[in-house]
Structure 1
Amino acid sequence: MENDKREGVYLDPKRGTVPLKGYAEKWMGRQHMAPNTEGTYDRAFRLHIFPALGHRLLSTLRPEDIEKLGRGMTEAGLSANSVDAYMTPLRAVCKAAVHNGDIGRSPFLGAKLPKLPGKAVDEIALPTGQQVQDIADEFRPEWALSVWLMAGLGLRTGEVLGLRVGDFLEDRVRVRRQVTRGKGGRGLLIGPLKHRQEGDWRDVPLPTRLSEATADHVAKYGTGADGMLFKTATGSIVATSDYASHFRKVVKLIAYEWSPHDLRHWFASTALSSGLPLLDVSRWLGHKNISETADTYGHLTPDSTGRAVRVMDVAITQHRADVVLDVAA
């Protein structure tokens, strides 16, 4: 103990003798999060983490506790991706506890959790353009445009439900906000975009046909508060959960199995397979970084092997490298 103090690595064992629930709640109170992220973390703690480990002292958590928590989520029917997402706030709390000197080692070190599937999207399993239209044809008429806006602009569900008439410019849509739920799932909020701060925005190219369809939609159905493009029967904001529920009913009716997010995948796969630059597509999708786009859709970019051969042949000839090659032979 005295040696650890001299070397500056001593940890007071009493610092971690606090219940995980209380420590995590104080940690949450110090964070600056977007409403959607705060809601996700709150659900993870309330539904999964606190019931299983909330009473445990922070300093007593071990890798086997993390593994047991993950196993319980899996047995409850959650996918590996969902388990990873619900583990994120607990992982962050443990990391902060190590950083603050409250525990010496994160219990996540050495813990074996469900293996995450590859991120690459199977383009063969995505809907065709005709199938996207089939979904739109069966949708509530006043929401039908949203199907093609997600497919044609690559928007997330919350983003398309947050669109206002003023966001539509001459040749692009300026995506500024998303619809999300408040802490504890209570109430609807208009929050900043995912991975972005309040006031941030991104521009997405607006196909002419969608521009015309949007004008027709407004003329026929009007708008909600603040020019909101989509609204409920009473004129209020459409909740993402209500939209997803309606989407599931529609695809089940026509014997499809896609989710709204598959429309976003359709946009990315169509753009990349047609030769549009990966960097541009990543920016339009609003990904946190280009590596996320590459991991998910990189295999869809056209094979450039033949083009690379032609480019290098021209470059070699222009710089007379062929003379060097002849001498070497």
Structure 2
Amino acid sequence: MDPRVVVNPRQAQELLTAVTYVGQRGRGRRLMALFACMSYAALRPAEAVGLRLQDCHLPKSGWGRLTIDVSRPEVNTQWTDSDHAHEERGLKHRGRQDVRPVPIPPELVKILREHIAEYGTAKDGCIFSSERGGVVASTAYTEVWQAARLLAFAPAQVASPLAKRPYDLQHAAVSLWLNAGVPAPDVAERAGHSVDVLLRVYAKCIDGQQEIANKRIGDALAA
């Protein structure tokens, strides 16, 4: 993974704010909580799209929890057993019946509670839906994301790989947890990775590791 795509917490917040200003009839505002799930809970886009009310524990105060067991990736209809562009699947790298509990901070709990109060849920219980009640298409949230980058970033940042895709919010969340000193097995469990993949993919994004390694090598040379 290219470490240049990873935003810091301030940049992530600026992007979420910018999303709410995108589009007519509150188009971006309707999607802000979806992006927040990627940023605060490290959900993949297809997992956020498939999030249902029954999957959420959202207390009035303190930390909440998401129980992730469904992913709704967008696929070509000719490769599915139905005519729908989104196919319901199990979690990536896991069995169909596996679930992944993800603790979520009070900030995301508040965002989700406000989203549900304003927009309700779709007929199938999904928290996020289009204005017509359908599944949120990847083209829709990608267009909003690109417009938000133009609002939140300076021209040089817009031209860079920084948060180029919504998926990069998951990378930012995982990097933040690792930099905060959360043990790798716990981070892997929350993000739905194996520890091996986590450390192999995110090793270059752990802030300060190069300085620590240099000090250890210097100490060894001086011994």
TM-score range, shorter chain: 0.7 to 0.9
Structure 1 residues 159, 125: closer, same or farther in 2, change over 3 A? Answer: closer
Residue 74 of structure 2 corresponds to which residue in structure 1? Answer: 181
Equivalent positions of 1:248-267 (< 5 A) are 248-255=146-153, 256=158, 257-258=162-163, 259-267=165-173
Displaced runs of 4+ in structure 1, greater than 4 A? Answer: 301-305
Select which of 1, 14, 18 maps to 1:138.
18
Counterpart residue identity of residue 134, structure 1: E
Counterpart residue identity of residue 67, structure 2: R
Deviation at 1:178, TM superposition (A): 1.3
**TM-score relative to the length of structure 2:** 0.74
Deviation at 1:138, TM superposition (A): 2.5
Structure 2 unmatched ranges of 5 or more: 20-27, 217-223
Residue 164 of structure 1 corresponds to which residue in structure 2? Answer: 52
Asked if the contact 1:275–1:301 (Cα under 8 Å) also holds between the matched residues in 2, the reply is no
Residue 324 of structure 1 corresponds to which residue in structure 2? Answer: none
C-alpha distance after superposition, 1:133-180 (max 9, x if no partner): 222222211111122211110111111111111111253210111112
1:154 & 1:206 partners in 2: Cα distance? 10
Identity of aligned residues (%): 25
Residue 155 of structure 1 corresponds to which residue in structure 2? Answer: 43
2:207 & 2:178 partners in 1: Cα distance? 5
Equivalent positions of 1:268-283 (< 5 A) are 268-283=174-189
Deviation at 1:218, TM superposition (A): 0.6
Higher relative contact order (CA 8 A, sep 6+): 2
User: How many pairs are equivalent?
Assistant: 185
Q: Secondary structure at the match of 1:190?
A: coil
Deviation at 1:253, TM superposition (A): 4.2
Structure 1 residues 209, 253: closer, same or farther in 2, change over 3 A? Answer: closer
Counterpart residue identity of residue 273, structure 1: N
2:97 & 2:56 partners in 1: Cα distance? 17
Residue 142 of structure 2 corresponds to which residue in structure 1? Answer: 244
Structure 1 unmatched ranges of 5 or more: 1-118, 309-329
Asked if the contact 2:42–2:191 (Cα under 8 Å) also holds between the matched residues in 1, the reply is yes
2:17 & 2:49 partners in 1: Cα distance? 18
Counterpart residue identity of residue 237, structure 1: V
Q: Secondary structure at the match of 1:195?
A: coil
Structure number with greater Rg is 1
Asked if the contact 2:33–2:115 (Cα under 8 Å) also holds between the matched residues in 1, the reply is yes
Judge which range, 212-221 or 151-160, deviates more.
212-221
Counterpart residue identity of residue 174, structure 2: A
**TM-score relative to the length of structure 1:** 0.51
Counterpart residue identity of residue 199, structure 2: A
Asked if the contact 1:272–1:302 (Cα under 8 Å) also holds between the matched residues in 2, the reply is no
Deviation at 1:302, TM superposition (A): 6.5
Deviation at 1:224, TM superposition (A): 0.9
Residue 94 of structure 2 corresponds to which residue in structure 1? Answer: 196
Asked if the contact 1:151–1:263 (Cα under 8 Å) also holds between the matched residues in 2, the reply is yes
Asked if the contact 1:154–1:267 (Cα under 8 Å) also holds between the matched residues in 2, the reply is yes
1:147 & 1:282 partners in 2: Cα distance? 20
Residue 22 of structure 2 corresponds to which residue in structure 1? Answer: none
Deviation at 1:126, TM superposition (A): 2.0
- Give me the CA root mean square deviation: 2.3
1:127 & 1:179 partners in 2: Cα distance? 25
- Higher helix fraction (1 or 2): 1
Residue 132 of structure 2 corresponds to which residue in structure 1? Answer: 234
1:298 & 1:128 partners in 2: Cα distance? 16
Counterpart residue identity of residue 48, structure 2: V
Deviation at 1:278, TM superposition (A): 0.5
Residue 198 of structure 2 corresponds to which residue in structure 1? Answer: 293
Counterpart residue identity of residue 184, structure 1: Q
